[in-house]
Amino acid sequence: MEPVYPEFVPDGSLARGEMEALQDDIAEAAVFEDDLDFDPDRVTIDRDSDQRPLADADPPVIAGVDQAFLEDDRAVSAAVALRAGEVIETATAVAETAIPYIPGLLSFREGNAVLAALQALSVTPDLTVVDGSGRIHFRQAGLATHVGVTLDHPTIGVAKNLLCGTPREPIPERLAEGERIPIEADEGVTAPDGTVIGYAYQSRQYDSGSTSINPLYVSPGHRISASTAVDVVARTCGGYKLPEPTRLADSLADEAKGTFE
């Protein structure tokens, strides 16, 4: 995979206003509806789902990317590609973090590392799960959207915290596993008020007890709708809070740090 729109490749030397203007352009080019080359219902991490003799096609390849940071100004990005829960390829890459972490401008800090890791993959995933937000972003151009549009590749953003937007209903202390609550655009988002820009999704929950797990915040990156994005994430979670592609990329990024030190 390589950039289809080089003009969207994150440039950390831009002025803040220019970065935000670029995000507006990216949001304009983003497609927040299903435009996939595979059937999302065929997404699975069940290794045995492919044992049917007459399966008409291979399950789609889903990739996950995550970053870890070196002590200098470099980010290590790891990409893991899976087909039916089977790791078929991994790749890592490093890139400079031109700017510090600034809410709303994350893609200008980590975007190049992500693009480098995805380019290092020889396989072209059918969809990539990115750590961070997609459409749940002030200008509807979070890391997942920025990367997806730049590559014109289907992406989903999975964040552990909500950046902006308003839950349709207050998030309870404890959500049951599988529950999803729409996140709607408000005054702080450049989308019509009430637009569903993502979902709070409870990927895992303890059966009972005092402690509970927080939900994930899933949003479309590019070429997928908010509801399909949650469905896909639900299909890739296997007993852990994070979807398998992201979880594996997370640990790989940590291991890879030693390689670039």
**Binding region for DNA (CB under 7 A):** 66-69, 101, 103-107, 110, 131-133, 137, 142-144, 157, 159-164, 206-211, 254, 257
Is the CB of 90 or the CB of 107 nearer to DNA?
A: 107
Q: Given phi > 0 = left and psi -120 to 50 = alpha, else beta, which region is 139? A: alpha
Is the CB of 61 or the CB of 217 nearer to DNA?
A: 217
Is the CB of 44 or the CB of 97 nearer to DNA?
A: 97
Shortest Å distance, C-beta 222 to DNA: 13
Shortest Å distance, C-beta 47 to DNA: 25
CA distance 241 to 99: 30
Shortest Å distance, C-beta 49 to DNA: 28
Instruction: Determine if residue 25 is labeled as part of a ligand binding site.
Output: no
Instruction: Determine if residue 186 is labeled as part of a ligand binding site.
Output: no
Shortest Å distance, C-beta 69 to DNA: 5
Inter-axis angle of helices 16-29 and 143-151, nearest 10: 60
Asked whether 31 and 4 are in contact (CB, 8 A), the reply is: no
Asked whether 136 and 199 are in contact (CB, 8 A), the reply is: no
Q: Which residue has the tokens 């399909």?
A: 228
Is the CB of 13 or the CB of 161 nearer to DNA?
A: 161
Q: Residue 48, exposed/middle/buried by CB under 10 A (0-12, 13-18, 19+)?
A: exposed
Binding residues for Mg(2+): 66, 131
Binding residues: 66, 131
